[in-house]
Amino acid sequence: MREYLLTLCITAAVTYLLTGPVRKFAIVAGAMPEIRARDVHREPTPRLGGIAMFFGLCAGLLVADHLTNLNEVFAKSNEPRALLSGAALIWLIGVLDDKFEIDALIKLGGQMIAAGVMVMQGLTILWLPVPGFGNVALTPWQGTLLTVALVVITINAVNFVDGLDGLAAGMVCIAAAAFFLYSYRIWYSYGIEAAAPATLFAAILMGMCLGFLPHNMHPARIFMGDSGSMLIGLVLAAGAISITGQVDPDALALFTGSEKAAVHQTVPVYIPLLLPLTIIAVPAADLVLAIVRRTWRGQSPFAADRGHLHHRLLEIGHSHSRAVLIMYFWSALIGFGALAYSVNSASMWIVLGVVFLSAIGLVLLLLPRFTPRVPAWAQRFVPPRYRRRSRPAEPAAEAVEAPVCVPSSDEERPPVTAGVTGVNGATAIGARSRIGKATR
């Protein structure tokens, strides 16, 4: 665990320290697109944050390669090199898109090529565990097509949800944390070394997101862009493919008693092959809804709009920060709920807890304008929006003296009896009429 935590911290530190210089580089390079109709930010913000995240990934893999225990992952498996190859390709495509905004079909082709590069180096799905049936072996073509489809869907799911400050990085970090705990349990509790690469990928992914989040929280100083969203989507998919393609349920059968029981125990990880990815079910649902919505309107599935889940949260009255926190809540509930179910699927308390938290989430969705107020003694410790506001006193009406035309000669100066402007701004008419007669 200490080596995983060290890798996570190094990745986060490198990403955090490089994001500032990358922001300056993005401004100089002109990677600051104009505000579009679907954007929610009000000022042009530089992109290319994926550059810092990619170098954080490289630093994490480099550090892990020199650690005693994690070095075995590189010695016994080619998956880290496969991940780096696919990540470099998808990152390059994302950088070009952040700068020049390449066509959507070209990006889709690049995503498929990146997935194919990882498949060629051994990062692929070899079998498909089916709950209630057992282990189903896949042909090379079936495994390749399933792997490419999973990578492409996950990349676009993360890319679609990247619409608010800190949203994509936070949701993927939550998903990676749940995935890390699950794969680490398989690796150390059951002693299955094939789960080690997935555990390493999840730790590095958490570091990438945590290092970038301080720069990306609302109001964001830099966006990750497609170079970052597609990159973290690929890393997340690579972890799911690694544990699915390499961990044999027959090995888990030694601990659970039968192959069917082993398959049932691994359901929370293998469901991603069908949905995909339970741990990012919210972005996946957003992806499906966006495709259906745009196809129904006769538009391209890749045509951008303001119909995503986070846009709808803003439209019904939630603030920017609250919309992000609600999306975090649902991602954590689904991801860690699946994790808890995998540990003890027979416990009713887990099901009841998930149902109770789901009810809380629904209440939060239905009360967009509810702002809690803290007691008077605690107001100095909370942000201003949670403090009780006193009603401002009404300003008293004051008389304002109006300018009066005065003749230059003292002999012609008439007596002025009413030269004061009232509250409504009207001047004394009688005074002005006498002045006119005197000067005539």
Q: What is the pLDDT of residue 325?
A: 83
CA–CA distances in Å: residue 218 to residues 45, 64, 275, 323, 367: 12, 32, 30, 11, 21
| Average pLDDT per block of 10 residues along the chain, 440 residues long | 92 96 91 63 79 96 91 88 94 92 89 94 81 72 90 87 82 88 80 84 94 88 91 91 70 52 50 46 67 72 60 66 81 80 71 83 67 68 62 49 48 45 43 43
Contact 115, 148 (CB under 8 A): yes
Beta bridge partners of 134: 130
The values of phi and psi at residue 38, to 5°, are: -85, -10
Distance between CA 191 and CA 187 in Å, rounded? Answer: 5
Q: What is the pLDDT of residue 162?
A: 78
Contact 158, 172 (CB under 8 A): yes
Burial class (CB within 10 angstroms; exposed 0-12, middle 13-18, buried 19+) of 99: middle
In the annotated binding site, the residues are 159, 226
In the annotated binding site for Mg(2+), the residues are 159, 226
The values of phi and psi at residue 198, to 5°, are: -65, -40
Q: What is the pLDDT of residue 436?
A: 44
Q: What is the pLDDT of residue 214?
A: 92
Token representation of residue 215: 């720069």
User: What predicted TM-score, i.e. pTM, was given to this entire model?
Assistant: 0.72
Helix 225-246 and helix 167-189: axis angle, to 10°? 20
Q: What is the DSSP letter of 364?
A: H
Token representation of residue 347: 């416990």
Q: What is the pLDDT of residue 44?
A: 76
Q: Apex CA 61: angle with CA 57 and CA 63, to 5°?
A: 115
Closest CA to 247 of 263, 236, 234: 263
Q: What is the pLDDT of residue 291?
A: 74
